[in-house]
Amino acid sequence: MNDEIMVKIENVSFEYSSYIDESIQLAVKDLSIDIKQGEFLVVLGHNGSGKSTLAKMINGLIMPSSGNIFVNGLNTRDEDKIWDIRSTAGMVFQNPDNQIVATIVEEDVAFGPENLGVPQSELRKRVDDALETVEMTEYKNHAPHLLSGGQKQRVAIAGILAMEPDCIIFDEPTAMLDPVGRLEVMETIKKLNKEKGKTIILITHFMDEAVEADRVMVLNEGEAVMLGTPKEIFSQVEKLKILGLDVPQVTELVFELNKEGYAFSDDILSVEELVNLL
């Protein structure tokens, strides 16, 4: 991670009309954060907290009602730059079936860069490299609909990688997967961040996934109510519970033990840390 800013969010709000009474509702309220190149940021919050709205604004799918978002210096409001922005900040959605468009894995991975006008000689290399990164090379001639959920999501990630983005936004990419699929996708995300230097913005409701981040931002009713390292955030168990959020199981166990009179550190996040402590 370096000090250059990949995504700059300045006083951003997003409002919409309620279907019920046509009143104006704020999905995101005056949000500001700088996300550095190579950073791994996790965004937490219960349903309706504004997480997905934020993701779509960063990708230029929707525009802020007020404020500005800059992706590698480009304002998402600049319509002439929108494809440059989406090439810089790729997005992976919750349901991999909604992102897969071809009947053969390698053709699906080639779809995005092909539409960007990448020449055939370069295209082949990009597809091969992307499939290798997500460890799906052996499935390149398979039909995507025959793959497991985790494998499909890794193909979707390869399709984004082939467009060579510097930043990837994941909007609850493991929500529809079984535990094995979740693990596969999280290993891929960590690899992209640590080995490939990609800036990662991961929206999730799985607390164990948030432990892997450099920083965690907690949204509540569209506002950033907490921001810090995983240890800083998850040590505040009672505050998170008031916000309707869980904490990693190990952190919960330490919290309960301390209530019984123990004096363990309140920033334990992993089984290994707890075993060493005990």
CATH no. for residue 138?
3.40.50.300
Cα–Cα dist 216/234, whole Å:
9
Radius of gyration of the chain (CA): 20
- Which region among 40-54, 237-251, 257-271 has the lowest average model confidence (pLDDT)? 257-271
pLDDT at residue 222 is higher than 90: yes
Cα–Cα dist 65/267, whole Å:
38
Evaluate whether residue 78 is within a structural domain: yes
Place 23 in a pLDDT band, splitting at 50, 70 and 90.
Answer: confident
- Which region among 19-23, 171-175, 224-228, 272-276 has the lowest average model confidence (pLDDT)? 19-23
pLDDT at position 258: 86
Enclosing domain of residue 189: 5-247
Whether 25 and 17 have beta carbons less than 8 Å apart is answered as yes
Evaluate whether residue 264 is within a structural domain: no
pLDDT at position 127: 96
Structural tokens at position 138: 């052996």
Evaluate whether residue 273 is within a structural domain: no
Evaluate whether residue 270 is within a structural domain: no
Evaluate whether residue 61 is within a structural domain: yes
Partners of 12 in the β-ladder: 31
As for how many domains the chain has, the answer is 1
Mean pLDDT, the chain, whole residue set: 92
pLDDT at position 25: 84
Evaluate whether residue 272 is within a structural domain: no
pLDDT at position 267: 82
Structural tokens at position 38: 């190579």
Place 191 in a pLDDT band, splitting at 50, 70 and 90.
Answer: very high
Evaluate whether residue 184 is within a structural domain: yes
Evaluate whether residue 118 is within a structural domain: yes
